[in-house]
Amino acid sequence: MNSNNFDVIVVGAGPAGITAALLLARKGLKVTLLERGEFPGSKNMFGGAVFGRVLHDIIPEYWTKAPFERFISRKMITMLAEDSAVSLDFHSAAFKKPPYNGFVVQRTSFDRWYAQEAVKAGAVLLTQTVADDIIREGSQVVGVMARRPQGELRAKVVIAADGAVSLLAKKAGLRREFTPNQFSLGVKEVVQLPAGALEERLGLTGDEGMSNEFLGRMGGGLHGGAFIYTNRDCLSLGVVAQAHSLKARKATIYDALDQFKRHPAVAPLLEGGRFLEYSAHLIPEAGINMVPQLFTGGMMVAGDAAGLVLAGGVFLEGVNFAIAAGKAAAETAIQAFEKGSFDQAAMAEYEVRLKESFVLQDIDRFKTAIPMLLNERLYEVYPSFVCRTLENWFMVDGTGHPKLAGMVKRLLGEDMGLWQMTKDGYQFGRAMLW
């Protein structure tokens, strides 16, 4: 077999691609993993927490091996108004025990470690290698063109795990144009805190960590949210904004980030902090509405490349979905090799597997969250309404305490009617509750 011939080519060494390459290599298949970055993770960014139940199935007790920052024992959700905030603060004993619920990781170390697991299993990792196009024979995909001398690489199966802006899925004709209503942009800063400050400010001990997801109108009127995650001794914090609102508002995401950092609920956490890094990445957020055709003869699309992210405003899960999709793609390819058939019908098994797993089930279940996320009152009205209501209610100013109902009615009158709120309440309920 020629050195440019493989059983499977996986494009993109993120969680989806690495998982696929690892599982295929374990089965003894000849698999190569192409990554455009200097090393796996060098281009990657997320909030971030890895919810690793799916990883535990692949690498048992992965937390004893993976480079993680902290496990999440305290999970917060915060509604943000201009200069006030309301939080839900959840502490869980179960989250502190194996198999743990989630870990904060940094992608440069996590993806790098995970890719090495695939290499140890026998996958051939080619870094600094961009896949520019797919190679077809008739309707069958038979390889990729890499941007390098003798770049023609051939395989029976190609798995495109090339992330949110999947040029390969597009070139294969599996997805349509990218549009602003399919994506949110996230920017993140890593800020080093003085020794001991993180534990002290957030009430954490040992390896305990915290995540906080913020919802509200971001600076400049951008629709989206913000996040804070605890690393070992630095914080990751960032702002997410829907691409269509970036376009419509002509506001910049970095100004929104600076405004977030100055918010009275956030600024004290950052005091004495030293800036370490600024990064940016898109999130495919349109759920089922943007999932492309997932396969064609000889090819499957996995992870962000297929829009397989669960976004619900105050939660964002992509890594676990990418791992599960990579696993389904690997299992499909393994079965195809057993049967010796790689055509469209053989690849169709991939979609069946995704539908049987939480991947397409959750994404389908939460499709009702999409209209909620696009409802401007979720950002423009409700967070500040809740904050103002509580501010008024808690304020002891000698005028006597009003009953909540009367006050809500008065404050609501300033923004909109009760009927609108009832309708939105139904929409939010449909999105999250039933």
Partner 1 sequence: MVDISQRLKFSRYRLDRQAHIEVDYVKCRRCTHRACLTACPAQCYLAHAENGVLFNYEGCLECGTCYVICDLGALKWNYPKGGCGVNYRFA
Ligand X SMILES: Cc1cc2nc3c(=O)[nH]c(=O)nc-3n(C[C@H](O)[C@H](O)[C@H](O)COP(=O)(O)OP(=O)(O)OC[C@H]3O[C@@H](n4cnc5c(N)ncnc54)[C@H](O)[C@@H]3O)c2cc1C
Supply 158's token pair: 């190609």
Taking the least distance from each CB to partner 1, the nearer of 346 and 373 is: 373
Taking the least distance from each CB to partner 1, the nearer of 96 and 171 is: 171
Q: How far apart are CA 273 and CA 197, in angstroms?
A: 9
Taking the least distance from each CB to ligand X, the nearer of 37 and 313 is: 37
Taking the least distance from each CB to ligand X, the nearer of 209 and 238 is: 238
**Environment class of 11 (CB within 10 Å of its CB; exposed 0-12, middle 13-18, buried 19+):** buried
Which partner in ligand X, partner 1, none is near 362 (CB below 5 to 8 A by kind)?
Answer: none
Q: Are 238 and 188 in contact (CB under 8 A)?
A: yes
224 binds ligand X (CB under 6 A): no
Supply 192's token pair: 């080093």
- The secondary structure of residue 8, as a DSSP letter, is E
Per-residue binder mask for ligand X (CB under 6 A), 116-135, x = binder: --------------xx----
Taking the least distance from each CB to ligand X, the nearer of 227 and 385 is: 227
Which partner in ligand X, partner 1, none is near 246 (CB below 5 to 8 A by kind)?
Answer: partner 1
162 binds ligand X (CB under 6 A): yes
13 binds ligand X (CB under 6 A): yes
Q: Give the shortest CB-297-to-partner 1 separation in angstroms.
A: 26
Residue 88, Cβ neighbours under 10 Å: how many? 12
Taking the least distance from each CB to ligand X, the nearer of 9 and 29 is: 9
Spatial neighbors of 258 by CB under 8 A, at least 6 apart, are 219
Which partner in ligand X, partner 1, none is near 278 (CB below 5 to 8 A by kind)?
Answer: partner 1
Helix then strand then coil, % of the chain, to nearest 5:
40, 25, 30
Encode 114-131: b = buried (16+ Cβ within 10 Å), e = exposed.
bbbbbbebbbbbbeebbb
17 binds ligand X (CB under 6 A): yes
The residue written with tokens 């539908």 in the block is 355
* Contact residues: partner 1, CB under 8 A: 36-38, 41-46, 106-108, 127-130, 147-148, 164-165, 167, 178-180, 182-183, 185, 187-190, 231, 234, 236, 243, 246-247, 250-255, 258, 275-282
The residue written with tokens 């790098």 in the block is 112
**Which amino acid belongs to residue 40?**
P
Segment holding 397, helix H or strand E: none
Taking the least distance from each CB to ligand X, the nearer of 129 and 368 is: 129
Q: Give the shortest CB-305-to-ligand X separation in angstroms.
A: 6
Encode 242-268: b = buried (16+ Cβ within 10 Å), e = exposed.
bbbbbeebebebeebbebbbebebbee
Taking the least distance from each CB to partner 1, the nearer of 137 and 152 is: 152
The residue written with tokens 């905030």 in the block is 85
304 binds ligand X (CB under 6 A): yes
Spatial neighbors of 412 by CB under 8 A, at least 6 apart, are 385, 418, 421
Q: Give the shortest CB-211-to-ligand X separation in angstroms.
A: 7
The residue written with tokens 């495919």 in the block is 284
Which partner in ligand X, partner 1, none is near 80 (CB below 5 to 8 A by kind)?
Answer: none
Binding stretches for ligand X (CB under 6 A): 11-17, 34-37, 43-49, 130-131, 161-163, 167, 186, 188, 238, 240, 281, 283, 303-305, 309, 316-320, 322
